[in-house]
Amino acid sequence: MIASAPPSPILAAPLLEMRGIVKSFPGVQALRGVSLSLHAGEVLALLGENGAGKSTLMKVLGGAFRADAGSIAIAGATQHFASPQDSRRAGVAVIYQEFNLVPGLTACENIFLGQEPTRAGFIAQSQERRQAAELFKRLGVEVDLDAPCHRLTTAQQQLVEIAKALAFQARIIVMDEPSAALTDHEVGRLFAIIEELKRQGIGIVYISHRLDEIFAIANRVTVLRDGQNVGERPMGQVTRQELIELMVGRELSDEFPKRSTSIGPVRLEVSGLRRGRAVRDVSFSVRRGEILALTGLVGAGRTETVRLIFGADPREAGHIRLDGRSLAIRSPRDAIAAGIGLLTEDRKLQGLMLGHSVRENFGLPNLDWLCRGGFVRLRRERDEFARYISSLRIKVFSGEQRAGTLSGGNQQKVVLAKWLARNCDVLIFDEPTRGIDVGAKYEIYLLINELAAQGKSIIMISSELPEVLGMADRILVLHEGRVTGEIADARAATQEQIMKLAIA
């Protein structure tokens, strides 16, 4: 159980004030007079569904977007940001979910990129190293200064971003989904660093969909919905349920929708799956209408296991059977033809072609029945996708909108639509709600339940134990490539029971 964050101290004038920020794009009113304040030594949580305006507001603060109206003041001085450089000079650093690092440069070089200390026209490398070491010491961590950033872990790259912000003497640091790809241990380390930054008087805007973290680290919370402020509270004066309802704009009686289960005979069986040390003799089955959760710590082999089932990686051993017949799956094409669909963990890199339209993304795995004579029947493709836009409530202007411009929840719905169109018998969801807001999560949960009710077999990988307990009929726990336990009745299980098996 994560402890609650301490209440805010008695605070002086705000370090940051954003007042009446308005921002429009063609056809979209992204921000409608949004206001936000941040004090020195405070963590302000910024919450809202995907598309609520959080990222747009922070890009205005970071100088990436210019507001149509409104004002920004830092330490009482009015600011006008025409570029990210202006924002950075004013003491603002934005650490985006996708880090802004040059992979081939070292940690030290990335920290001082653009502001290298020089001597007689040459970069003073010894001075750089000394200052970089002092920055990491200030954070209470150690990072190899000479390691290229592409060789660093996600947590270490995040530390480089924070050190880079301090090198620019940032007084305000924005962290956008900072824990999305971190282990529990790394999240704990991040929280310790945030506490140290607070002690140094730095104000932090913390954006996350993980409400447990918000209650652990934030002093105050500001909630946006549809580009407007809908609430601001001290963390000690708001409940989890109240935050969820502020974000979605309606009452949710339960975070996980209830369903009545009608589980049929075994549909998919895998036995003796093996690939190196990543997957070692994994066997299990999933029934019609069943939601089977695969869980475990990072590196347990969950994703590696389903990639073998889907043919994305070659297996060294093992058998796969569907409805009693053996499958020779050597590629994703074979799996798709057999009626198996995989919603990948990384929808941006593996699930979608971000530069292409949502219509084209929908059509890719369905070209066999959307084509005639070697040509795509565009009208049929548009009509078919339009049905899913309506049924899945995908927020798009048209089917020609680029997939990369959608919010995370709507991107996930596009991926789901293309697999639903294939009418797959087995659907594998790998971290289906990662980086998705609570409202969109609820809709994804409803869709998963509906698919199970239709007799589909669902395999769901999740690192969020409340999600596992709230959605699964049965739980399979993996550790270092092996199955370490099975919980037949997920609703009677506890997080402690799962964790014991996960570290076995």
SS3 56: helix
Measure CA 218 to chain center: 19
Amino acid symbol at 478:
L
Please check whether residues 180 and 272 belong to one and the same domain. Answer: no
In a domain, 36, yes or no: yes
In a domain, 291, yes or no: yes
Pair 59, 65: CB distance under 8 Å: yes
User: Which residue range forms the structural domain that includes residue 334?
Assistant: 267-502
Among 193, 214, 248, residue at a domain's last position: 248
Query: What is the distance in angstroms between the CA of the first residue and the CA of the last residue of the chain?
Result: 21
In a domain, 258, yes or no: no
Among 187, 213, 248, residue at a domain's last position: 248
In a domain, 309, yes or no: yes
**What confidence tens digit (pLDDT) does each residue in 22-37 have?**
999 877 789 999 999 9
Please check whether residues 290 and 429 belong to one and the same domain. Answer: yes
In a domain, 259, yes or no: no
Please check whether residues 237 and 326 belong to one and the same domain. Answer: no
Checking DSSP bridges between strand 16-25 and strand 69-74, what pairing results, if any? antiparallel
Please check whether residues 31 and 132 belong to one and the same domain. Answer: yes
Element (H, E) at 319: strand 317-322
Q: How does DSSP classify residue 253?
A: S
Please check whether residues 483 and 421 belong to one and the same domain. Answer: yes
Please check whether residues 432 and 299 belong to one and the same domain. Answer: yes
> What is the tally of structural domains in the chain?
2
Alpha carbon distance 330, 325 (integer Å): 16
Residue 354 sits at the vertex; the CA angle it makes with 351 and 357, to the nearest 5 degrees, is 105
Question: What pLDDT tens digit does each residue of the chain (504 aa) get?
Answer: 344 555 554 456 899 999 999 999 877 789 999 999 999 999 999 998 777 889 899 999 999 999 999 999 999 999 999 999 999 999 999 988 778 889 899 999 998 887 766 666 666 678 888 888 888 888 888 889 899 998 888 888 888 888 888 888 899 999 988 887 677 778 888 899 899 999 999 999 999 888 888 999 999 999 998 899 999 999 999 998 888 888 877 666 667 887 777 899 999 999 999 999 999 999 999 999 999 999 987 778 999 999 999 999 999 999 999 999 999 999 999 999 999 999 887 777 777 888 888 888 888 888 888 888 888 888 888 888 888 888 778 888 888 889 888 877 788 888 888 888 888 899 999 988 877 777 778 888 988 999 999 999 999 999 888 889 999 999 999 999 999 999 999 888 988 889 888 886
CA nearest to 238, candidates 210, 218, 208: 218
- pLDDT reported for residue 449: 92
In a domain, 11, yes or no: no
Residue 26 phi, psi (nearest 5): -55, 115
In a domain, 10, yes or no: no
Alpha carbon distance 26, 83 (integer Å): 21
User: What CATH number does the domain containing 147 carry?
Assistant: 3.40.50.300
pTM of the predicted model over 0.75: no
Please check whether residues 185 and 306 belong to one and the same domain. Answer: no
Residue 286 phi, psi (nearest 5): -135, 140
Please check whether residues 115 and 35 belong to one and the same domain. Answer: yes
Residue 83 sits at the vertex; the CA angle it makes with 153 and 403, to the nearest 5 degrees, is 60
Please check whether residues 202 and 293 belong to one and the same domain. Answer: no
Please check whether residues 156 and 290 belong to one and the same domain. Answer: no
Please check whether residues 243 and 271 belong to one and the same domain. Answer: no
Among 195, 220, 248, residue at a domain's last position: 248
CA dihedral 431, 434, 439, 445 (to 10 degrees): 0
Pair 436, 51: CB distance under 8 Å: no
- pLDDT reported for residue 237: 93
Please check whether residues 356 and 488 belong to one and the same domain. Answer: yes
- Helix 408-420 vs helix 378-391: angle between axes, to the nearest 10 degrees? 120
In a domain, 256, yes or no: no
